[in-house]
Structure 1
Amino acid sequence: MVENIYRKLIIRELKGEVSTEEAQIIDKWIKESPENQKLYNELWSAFQLTSPDVELFIPDKEIAWANISNKISVPLKRRSLIIQLSSIAAAAVIFFLIGFAIRYSTTEKLPSSFLNQYSTVVVPEGQKSMIILPDGSQVWLNSGTVLKYKSSFNSQIREVEITGEGYFEVTKDNSRMFRVNTGNVSVEVYGTAFNIRNYKEDKKLEVTVERGRVGLVKEGNKLTELTKGGQALINEGSDEMLLSNVKVDVVTAWRNNELIFNATPLEELTKYLERWYGVNITIEEKMKKKHNYTFKVKTESLRELLELLKVITPLQYKIDGKNVTIRYSNQG
């Protein structure tokens, strides 16, 4: 809870919205521990990843930037249109040529041609990332995820598109809805925290709420509302929706570099592992629909995990670069 308060305060500082007293509070907090310094660096990196600037600064903003630079534990250089990715951001951010994300002051008007341009964040398989949107909302992106938003994101409506999995911590703003488009179904909120899982190959949408309230909308019609602990599962091409209450920390464990499985079928398990480790896994046909697994993955390597599966199931595996083959052992 305390860390979340400082996250929001730091984001406000990065946006130039804090008072001198608040900036001093942040400075004191950073000096309290190496972990605080690390969090500040990570938030700065995430903010810069999706908020590149051009050299259009007024003097007080230059002073603010100098103050922020003094708090970062690595040397910084003011960038123009070149994006330098830090170690935290294993994502590629694509700013289209006509629509690079220039940050204007609140008194300046964006040209209409600029408003329809997209910025796209791509997270490769085997990697994860966290970004900060222009309104201060934080988004954690899982492996193999693509997030898109228009340059007009921070105007009348806050809207993004996602394919893959993301955890959203949305900055509250009752005057501007936050909408996540996932294809046929949209998730609409004003300020809350929730997880969306929407990989194309899974052919299903999963929405889980950690706090607050979200609405699921299809073609202008509200399908349902979810509150804390609520989960909706919608299969592709179907109007049927499965509603349930779940342990949110299990669903969102990936955000803390963990995977938790509970009676998960082998076929579904391997999909997670493919994205987690950035590999392709082939299962022997006769192994399918026969094995379920319950365990946790955190720091284990792919080989260590496969060795664990060998203890549970009579199988053997072969790793050939990024290709993994799993089949029954000769004894099975």
Structure 2
Amino acid sequence: MEEQFPLGEHLVDHLLNEEQSSAADSLLNEWQKSNPENMNEFGKYQKIWNATADVLTLQKFDSERAWNHVDSTLETLKTRTRRLKNIVLVVSGMAASLLIFLSLSFYTDLFSTSGATLSMRTTYGSRSEVVLPDGSIVKLNAGSNLDYHYDKINQTRKVDFSGEAFFEVAKSKKPFVIETSDGLKVKVLGTKFNLSTYPEDRMAQTSLFEGKVELSQKGSPSLILEPGQMAILDKKLNEIKYTEGEISHTTSWMQNKLYMENMSLHEVCTKLERWYDVRITLVSSDLGEKIHYTGVLKEQTVLDVLNALCHLSSISYKLNGKEITISGK
């Protein structure tokens, strides 16, 4: 019987010596060469040995090295977190800017063919000044409404207006057109003028200080105003015509002055209601047209004005909050 080769002893010695030196087992080599199956079997054992060595290596735990690895990992995570926060802040800032941009775009109709828009209201007892998107300046008297928009298609600056205001229109080749609820249309290119067009008034009035304006009304011939000229729209007759008067008196409201040129008590009361936000009742219906005033009033309060009127005419008044009742003496 052929003696069996002691593979176990030679194999273990060979694998142990291979880790420490390059020495080889000659008998083991001869055994491998003697048969191809022996070579395959040796390879299997070597793979098992190497796998076992890997497991043993994993079991050797270096605590200091492990903590260093943990610290390094945490620092990397912190760096990533800081970068992420910075990215979030940048993105948040961009989002906020975009939100503001879109809000402004919505307010000014940036993406609309109608162009920039602006609305302004003044209540009774208040006045205001506004700069329009085109640079024009408008000083609004009490109880006025203004809606401005720029028509990109027709290249026109358009204002829908009621009340009273002093306009300083910025010069431009693009027409500036004001339309009132009375149907009056005022077309300018660059000018300064006062426009009074309260819906409840019987007349609308325009006075020109600088430049040139064209007034038109449906069913009535247009009219051109030169500096120093004034015109009125008679709403009952639907007629535009020139009128005489002191042009500076038409803007006296900006200096808190009331110029009265044969002005009826009824008209005076209407102005006082707007300026001081009060309600005035005349006991006699004909009292308002029977009494007229000529002069100028510059008083601080509505009571000062009423006391002055009482000295100028035979009237008296009673005050209850914002309610004022005027009667004849």
TM-score bracket, normalised by the shorter chain, equals 0.5 to 0.7
Unaligned runs of 5+ in 1: 1-53, 58-79, 82-94, 103-109
1:253 aligned partner: 252
Q: What's the offset of the Cα at 1:202? A: 0.6
Q: Distance in 1 between matches of 2:133 and 2:147?
A: 13
2:24 aligned partner: none
1:180 aligns with 2:178: yes
TM-score, normalization by structure 2: 0.64
Check whether the contact 2:115–2:152 (CA below 8 A) recurs between aligned residues: no
1:101 aligns with 2:99: no
Task: Classify the secondary structure of the residue corresponding to 1:252.
Answer: helix
Q: Distance in 2 between matches of 1:322 and 1:253?
A: 24
Q: What's the offset of the Cα at 1:136? A: 0.9
> Structure 1 residues 217, 250: CA separation in 2 closer, same or farther (over 3 Å shift)?
same
Q: What's the offset of the Cα at 1:301? A: 1.1
> Structure 1 residues 220, 303: CA separation in 2 closer, same or farther (over 3 Å shift)?
closer
Structure 1 letter corresponding to 2:327: R
1:68-83 matches, within 5 Å, as: none
Structure 1 letter corresponding to 2:304: E
Check whether the contact 1:101–1:151 (CA below 8 A) recurs between aligned residues: no
Give the structure with the larger helix fraction: 2
Q: Distance in 2 between matches of 1:161 and 1:188?
A: 12
1:138-177 matches, within 5 Å, as: 138-150=137-149, 152=151, 156-173=155-172, 175-177=173-175
CA RMSD of aligned residues (A): 3.0
2:275 aligned partner: 276
Identity %: 30
Aligned residues: 232
> Structure 1 residues 55, 265: CA separation in 2 closer, same or farther (over 3 Å shift)?
farther
Q: Distance in 2 between matches of 1:254 and 1:176?
A: 30
1:34-45 matches, within 5 Å, as: none
Structure 1 letter corresponding to 2:185: S
1:205 aligned partner: 204
> Which digits, 9 at most, give the CA deviation of each residue in 1:253-289, with x for residues without a partner?
1122222112111111111111111111111224232
Task: Classify the secondary structure of the residue corresponding to 2:134.
Answer: coil
Structure 1 letter corresponding to 2:266: E
> Structure 1 residues 116, 156: CA separation in 2 closer, same or farther (over 3 Å shift)?
closer
Task: Classify the secondary structure of the residue corresponding to 2:124.
Answer: coil
Check whether the contact 1:149–1:159 (CA below 8 A) recurs between aligned residues: yes
Structure 1 letter corresponding to 2:180: T
Check whether the contact 1:188–1:216 (CA below 8 A) recurs between aligned residues: yes
1:1-332 matches, within 5 Å, as: 99-101=106-108, 110-112=110-112, 115=114, 118-150=117-149, 152=151, 156-173=155-172, 175-183=173-181, 184-219=183-218, 223-285=222-284, 286-329=286-329
Q: What's the offset of the Cα at 1:316? A: 1.4
Q: Which has the higher contact order (CA 8 A, sep 6+)?
A: 1
Q: What's the offset of the Cα at 1:56? A: 5.6
> Structure 1 residues 240, 99: CA separation in 2 closer, same or farther (over 3 Å shift)?
same
